Chain A
Amino acid sequence: MSSSTSVGDLVSQPYKYGFVTDIETDKIDKGLSEDVVRLISSKKDEPQFLLDFRLRAYQQWLRMEEPDWAALRHPPIDYQEMIYYAAPRQQEKKASLDEVDPKLLETFEKLGIPLSEQKRLSNVAVDAVFDSVSIATTYREKLAEHGVIFCSISEAVKDHPELIERYLGTVVPSNDNFFAALNSAVFSDGSFVFIPKGVKCPMELSTYFRINSGDTGQFERTLIVAEEGASVSYLEGCTAPMFDTNQLHAAVVELVALDDASIKYSTVQNWYAGDENGVGGIYNFVTKRGHCRGDRSHISWTQVETGSAITWKYPSCVLQGAHSVGEFYSVALTNNRQQADTGTKMVHVGPHTRSTIVSKGISAGHSSNSYRGLVQIGPKARGARNYSQCDSMLIGDQAAANTYPYIRSQQPEASVEHEASTCRISADQLFYLQSRGIGFEEAVSMMVSGFCRDVFNQLPMEFAAEADKLLALKLEGSVG
Chain B
Amino acid sequence: MVAAMSNSAAVAASTWVTSFLERLPAPAGELEAVQWRGREALSRQPLPSRRQEDWRFTDLAPLTALAPAPASSSAQGSWPAPAADVFRLWLDDSDDLLNGQSLPAGLGLLSSDEVQQALGHTLAACNCEQHWPVELNQASATRVLALRVSGAVAPTLELVSQAAEDSVMRPVRVLLLLEEKASLEVLQIQLGSACSLSSLVMEAHLGRESTLRHGLLALGEGQACFLGHLAVEQEPRSHLESVWASHGWALSRFEPRVVQVDGEATTTLKALQVAGGQQVVDTHSRVEFRGPEGQLDQLHKAIADDRGRSVFNGAVKVPRAAQRTNASQLSRNLLLSNQARIDTKPELEIVADDVRCAHGATVSRLQTDELFYLQSRGLSAAVAAGLLKRGFCEEVLRALPAAAAAWRPLQRMLGEG
Contacts and interface: CB of A to CB of B under 8 A. Distances in A.
Interface in B339-356: 339-356
Interface in A383-398: 392, 394-398
A417 interface: yes
B348 A403 contact: yes
A409 to B, nearest CB: 4
A409 B362 CA distance: 10
Interface stretch (B69-77, B159-167, B245-253, B330-338): B330-338
**Is chain A's binding surface mostly helix, strand, loop or mixed?**
strand
Contacts of A377: 363
B347 to A, nearest CB: 5
A411 B348 contact: no
Nearest to A396: B353
B349 A400 contact: yes
B379 to A, nearest CB: 20
B323 A397 contact: yes
B352 to A, nearest CB: 6
B345 A415 contact: no
A162 B295 CA distance: 61
B350 A394 contact: yes
A395 B354 CA distance: 9
B53 interface: yes
Contacts of A190: none
A419 interface: yes
B352 A421 contact: no
B344 A402 contact: no
B348 A402 contact: yes
Contacts of A407: 342-345, 361, 363
Given A407-B342, A424-B353, A417 B362 contact: yes
Contact of A408 (B320, B337, B342): B342
Given A379-B338, A411-B335, A412-B340, A405 B350 contact: no
A42 interface: no
Contact of B346 (A403, A416, A423): A403
B351 A400 contact: yes
A71 B365 CA distance: 33
Contact of A399 (B333, B353, B360, B362): B353
Interface residues of A, number: 36
B53 A424 contact: no
A397 B351 contact: yes
Contacts of A415: 362-364
B358 interface: yes
A416 B350 contact: no
B364 A414 contact: yes
B361 A413 contact: no
A415 B336 CA distance: 12
Contacts of B347: 402-404
B338 A412 contact: yes
Q: Which of A396, A407, A416, A417: most chain B Cβ within 10 A?
A: A407
A366 to B, nearest CB: 10
B389 interface: no
Contacts of A379: 338-339
Contacts of A49: none
Given A411-B338, A412-B338, A415-B363, A405 B356 contact: no
B352 A397 contact: yes
B358 A424 contact: no
A478 B364 CA distance: 42
A3 interface: no
A392 B350 contact: yes
B343 A422 contact: no
B194 interface: no
A83 B362 CA distance: 47
Interface in B363-381: 363-365
Interface centre among B343, B347, B362, B363 (most CB of A within 10 A): B363
A5 B344 CA distance: 45
B345 A405 contact: yes
Interface string B316-338: 00001001000000000101111
A401 interface: yes
A377 to B, nearest CB: 8
A73 to B, nearest CB: 14
Contact of A412 (B337, B356, B358, B362): B337
B359 interface: yes
Given A395-B353, A403-B346, A416 B361 contact: yes
Contacts of B355: 394, 422, 424
Interface string A39-66: 0000000000000000000000000000
Contact of B342 (A409, A421, A423): A409
A417 B367 CA distance: 14
A19 interface: no
Contacts of B354: 397, 424
B364 A416 contact: yes
A93 B269 CA distance: 65
Contact of A410 (B53, B341, B345, B352): B341
B387 interface: no
A406 interface: yes
B174 interface: no
B353 to A, nearest CB: 4
A69 B53 CA distance: 8
Interface string A412-438: 111111111111100000000000000
Contact of A421 (B336, B357, B365): B357
B122 to A, nearest CB: 26
10 contacts: A400-B351, A402-B348, A403-B346, A405-B346, A407-B345, A408-B341, A412-B335, A412-B336, A415-B363, A416-B362
